Amino acid sequence: MPSVTLLGFFAVVAVRLLQLRQISRSHPQLPAQHFVPPIMLNILVARLGLLSKNLSLGEFWKYVARLGGFLGRKNDGLPGCQTLWRGFSRLMDMCWAADFTTQSFEKCW
């Protein structure tokens, strides 16, 4: 039974990823802040050492794909679903770890 619950959770995440990917491909200039939680943007910027926190949606997905192994060379094309899933999964792990450590430290004080 737990596998059915997990499958339902992943289905919701997958649909959201596909929606965001479609929006980022049709309107890459939109600010990512309108679609992505601030903690995700902050962690992505810190992890990749980016200079600006004001990412467009197209830039956000390019950097998420980099976390998933996308190299972004001249003739590579757009990142695929598997690369975006891997990158988003790594980003979610980092967000959960940051949230956990923040809550742990808050409970100590």
Residue-by-residue DSSP string for 19-75 = HHHHHHHH-TTSBGGGTS-HHHHHHHHHHHT-S-S--BHHHHHHHHHHHTT----TT
Say how many domains are in the chain: 1
Residue 45: what pLDDT? 92
Q: What is the pLDDT of residues 23-54, one digit of tens each?
A: 888 888 989 888 888 889 999 999 999 888 88
CATH number, position 42: 1.10.740.10
Among 7-21, 23-37, 69-83, name the one with the lowest average pLDDT: 7-21
Looking at every residue in the chain, the average pLDDT score rounds to: 84
Domain interval for residue 89: 2-108
Residue 2: what pLDDT? 59
- pLDDT over 60 at 108, yes or no: no
Among 15-19, 36-40, 41-45, 86-90, name the one with the lowest average pLDDT: 15-19
Q: Is residue 94 very low, low, confident or very high in pLDDT (cuts 50, 70, 90)?
A: very high
pTM here is 0.77
Residue 104: what pLDDT? 62
